[in-house]
Chains A and B, each alone.
Chain A
Amino acid sequence: MAETVSPEQRPGIIELEKPKETLEPGYLVVCWNDPINEMNYVTHVFQTVFGWQRQKAEFHMLQVHEQGKSVLTRESLEKAEHYVHQLQKYSLHATLERDE
């Protein structure tokens, strides 16, 4: 995330920027690997829940499979909760994590 700059560094611009602590924090929707969900099923769920094309859904599915997890999207808390609920309805291991 962007750092807050001091007036000395960028005079005139600082008034348009909010201090970091007043910005709404972002939440990452993360899908975690497990040895049970079928790869095609996971791809299908990503396409259905996020409306993604197959190529993008497959990219994230492979990331889950090979790297243990994939960050699917960054959203407000409310939206991230919605996506986690949708993914858990399909019994995928999805959580939301605060973006640092």
Chain B
Amino acid sequence: MRVIRHGDSFLLYLVRQEKNLLFDLLKLYPQIPVGHFPLSKGGRVPEPEANQRLLEEALAEQRKANKSQLQAFLSDPKRCEPTEPGFRLRLSEAELEWLLQMLNDIRIGSWIRLGSPEEGQEMTRLEPRTMPFFWAMELAGDIQIVLVRALARGKP
């Protein structure tokens, strides 16, 4: 996969297999369980339960919007323009940021479903049930690295 900044937008060049992998991966969104992250660790916030609920509601609303946007993204035939030897995907900077959020949800959620292993301990948790989570976590991370690198170009 190659990513090129083109004016205000980004062009992602993908061979067929990469495109299929990316789209299959994105279909896994969302992966992070609702309410996984607390609003506060110390808990010394006014009305902690109400504020925690508000945060969860805001994130749930966001997740709902993301799912709709993702469905539109995955089913839009004009999104991926065929090129030789694969496809070209044009994204605005905001869309690329959004894609990063989707991928990191899949990455972190898959890691949680693996049992939140420490670095390098993932392989000890592998069994047929958890293999797909390992695959998703690794693939999402690999794509993220490419996208972050592209976004970083030209930033101060």
Contact = CB atoms under 8 A, between A and B. Distances in A.
Contacts, number: 81
B145 A40 contact: yes
A38 B39 contact: no
B78 interface: no
A98 B44 contact: yes
B111 A36 contact: yes
Would you call the interface of chain B mostly helix, strand, loop, or mixed? helix
Contacts of B101: 89-91
A90 B39 contact: no
Interface residues of A, number: 28
A30 B59 CA distance: 18
Interface stretch (B7-15, B19-27, B102-110, B123-131): B102-110
Contacts of A77: 45-46
Contact of B41 (A44, A48, A81, A95): A95
A84 B38 CA distance: 10
A4 interface: no
B51 A91 contact: no
A53 B42 CA distance: 30
Given A38-B145, A97-B41, A91 B104 contact: yes
B156 A95 contact: no
A40 B152 contact: yes
Interface of A: 27, 30, 32, 35-38, 40-41, 44, 47-48, 53-54, 77, 81, 84-85, 88-91, 93-98
Given A36-B116, A77-B46, 15 more contacts: A32-B41, A36-B111, A36-B137, A38-B148, A44-B100, A47-B155, A77-B45, A89-B101, A90-B101, A91-B32, A95-B37, A95-B39, A95-B40, A96-B40, A97-B41
